[in-house]
Amino acid sequence: MTRLVRKRAHWLLPCAVAGAMLASLPQRSSAADDPREWLQKMNQALATRNYDGTFFHLSEGRVETMRIVHRVRAGRVIERLQSLDGSGREFVRNNGELTCYLPDQHTVLVEPRPAHGPFLGSLPQFGAGADEFYRIETLPSTRVLGRAARVIAVNPKDQFRFGYRLWLDESTAMPLKTQLCDSRGQVIEQIFFARLDMPESIPDSDLAPAVRTEGMRWVRQGPSQDTASPTLSAFRASELPPGFHLTVAGAQTIGGASVPASHLVYSDGLATVSVFVEAQPGAATGAAAGTDTAPSSPPEPPMQGLARVGSGFAFSTVVQGHQVTAVGEVPAQTVEFIAHSVKSSGAAELPRR
């Protein structure tokens, strides 16, 4: 059953692994020592600079070599993330569309992706009250790739969220090395660059995928919608870990599904958990048809249980006859907590913040 949860989670957030693989990565810095200001400079660098680098991604005892190319030209962003070994996967975002080339699954997945914000994901901006749940501090400086590096630590104050350690280039604020850590400071995932260039221009050829797509299956993920069906829209988490609140409520078509799932996003301003609520396949088939005709094949059993997804977790359960899956780059107990608290209610509006 855990394999089913993991497989479904990859459909729910097929490119989230790419987004979570680089919780780090230029803008000329000032002499300010405030670590929050350095995080802002890093985020701005990720979104506005050209860069081309090769890095090692270490997770769960495995090492994968990746290349990242990011180009900004006349306000248009094109990005490419390529696995140089292992799965051979590539992810290309051209402004508002993300294409995931998955040769290990013989699939090409195309989905809408907002044009704003860096493709690879960086530390979100800290909102008011974030200090209640994280401690942000500057650690002793060091050197990475022969460059002076400022070290920033973002430590969680409880067990419901992960923390970060980031090594930022002193002259550009570009992250040269990053670690994702649990509440005890143990490293979960690590990324460090072997090469990082920031050229004035990047040719189109460096942004074109190298994957051969002949014979691969193409799947177009539906765009997010404002609402799901009235039944699904009524589902909300009745309880949340401290600091988390609802930030998005909409609908998302998953894979080749004909009916969109309810899509809820909960965040504490840094960590994010996506929750998908789907009607179970075939749940009402017999009643709606009004016949005793047996289905041609038995419905798939509901998914229940926990699975590791990238550096985070996914947890699936059944609530009031609906499949509920929570997934995010957070500890296992956080996705379990949120998934178990989801239930149908009359309040389908986004809460006031």
Q: Residue 211 above 80 pLDDT?
A: yes
Token pair belonging to 38: 């350095």
pTM of the model: 0.77
pLDDT tier, 25 (very low <50, low <70, confident <90, very high otherwise): very low
Mean pLDDT of the chain: 80
User: What is the C-alpha separation between 171 and 55, in angstroms, rounded?
Assistant: 20
Place of tokens 């609908």: 251
User: What is the C-alpha separation between 13 and 15, in angstroms, rounded?
Assistant: 6
What is the mean predicted confidence (pLDDT) over 57-79?
Answer: 91
Q: Residue 176 region, left (φ>0) first, then alpha (ψ -120 to 50), else beta? A: alpha
Q: Residue 107 above 70 pLDDT?
A: yes
Q: Residue 299 above 60 pLDDT?
A: no
User: What is the C-alpha separation between 202 and 71, in angstroms, rounded?
Assistant: 6
Smallest CA-to-CA distance from 80 within 263, 89, 165, 186 is with 89
The domain total for the chain is 1
User: What is the C-alpha separation between 140 and 39, in angstroms, rounded?
Assistant: 16
- The rounded percent of the chain whose pLDDT value lies above 70 is 73
Q: Which has the minimum average pLDDT: 5-9, 64-68, 253-257, 308-312?
A: 5-9
Q: Give the pLDDT confidence score for residue 24 in this predicted structure.
A: 36
Q: Exposed, middle or buried, 11 (CB in 10 Å: 0-12/13-18/19+)?
A: middle
Q: Residue 275 above 60 pLDDT?
A: yes
| In-domain check, residue 311 | yes
26 vs 92, residue with greater confidence? 92
| In-domain check, residue 315 | yes
Smallest CA-to-CA distance from 81 within 66, 96, 95 is with 66
Q: Give the pLDDT confidence score for residue 208 in this predicted structure.
A: 95
| In-domain check, residue 230 | yes
- For residue 323, the enclosing domain spans 222-283+300-344
Task: Tell me phi and psi for residue 112, to 5 degrees.
Answer: -70, 145
179 strand-pairing partners? 165, 190
| In-domain check, residue 206 | no
| In-domain check, residue 252 | yes
- The rounded percent of the chain whose pLDDT value lies above 90 is 48
| In-domain check, residue 74 | no
Task: Tell me phi and psi for residue 9, to 5 degrees.
Answer: -60, -35
Q: Give the pLDDT confidence score for residue 289 in this predicted structure.
A: 42
Q: Give the pLDDT confidence score for residue 336 in this predicted structure.
A: 96
Q: Give the pLDDT confidence score for residue 108 in this predicted structure.
A: 95
Q: Give the pLDDT confidence score for residue 255 in this predicted structure.
A: 60
Q: Give the pLDDT confidence score for residue 281 in this predicted structure.
A: 64
Q: Give the pLDDT confidence score for residue 59 in this predicted structure.
A: 86
Q: Give the pLDDT confidence score for residue 300 in this predicted structure.
A: 62
Q: Give the pLDDT confidence score for residue 291 in this predicted structure.
A: 45
Q: Give the pLDDT confidence score for residue 311 in this predicted structure.
A: 83
What single-letter amino acid sits at 320? Q
Q: Which has the minimum average pLDDT: 2-16, 36-50, 78-92, 185-199?
A: 2-16
What is the mean predicted confidence (pLDDT) over 221-249?
Answer: 77
CATH number at residue 256: 3.30.200.100
| In-domain check, residue 165 | no
118 vs 237, residue with greater confidence? 237
- Give the torsion sign (CA, 42, 48, 54, 58): positive
| In-domain check, residue 269 | yes
Token pair belonging to 327: 């997934």
